[in-house]
């Protein structure tokens, strides 16, 4: 799975509390429990990088979506 993230500048309402917080704080509140479950099942981050260059191309999205970062995770899907 690869995630592309566009962080909004300034404060935004937290989706659960409604409190005004930085977008990075919202991402952190999502990722921490997700990462714990991921590691518990043998998954792990492959890489994460912030956007540093200009926009080159897109597939199945309009214009320049203003990505701020990208990340890729390795999942272990196990069923019993």
Question: What does the pLDDT look like over 35-49, one tens digit per residue?
Answer: 888 788 877 778 878
pLDDT given at position 20:
95
Query: How is residue 6 written in tokens?
Result: 């566009």
Are 6 and 34 a contacting pair, CB within 8 Å?
no
pLDDT given at position 76:
65
Question: What does the pLDDT look like over 14-38, one tens digit per residue?
Answer: 888 899 999 888 888 888 888 888 7
Question: Which of 56, 58, 41, 45 has its CA nearest to residue 1?
Answer: 45
Question: Which sequence spans correspond to the domains of the chain?
Answer: 2-74
Are 61 and 4 a contacting pair, CB within 8 Å?
no
């Amino acid at each position: 799975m690869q995630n592309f993230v566009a962080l909004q500048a300034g404060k935004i309402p937290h989706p659960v509390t409604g409190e005004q917080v930085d977008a990075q704080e919202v991402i952190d509140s999502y990722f921490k429990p997700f990462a714990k479950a991921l590691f518990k099942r043998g998954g792990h981050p492959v890489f994460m990088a912030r956007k540093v260059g200009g926009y080159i191309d897109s597939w199945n999205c309009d214009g320049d979506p203003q990505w701020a970062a990208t990340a890729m995770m390795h999942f272990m899907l196990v069923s019993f």
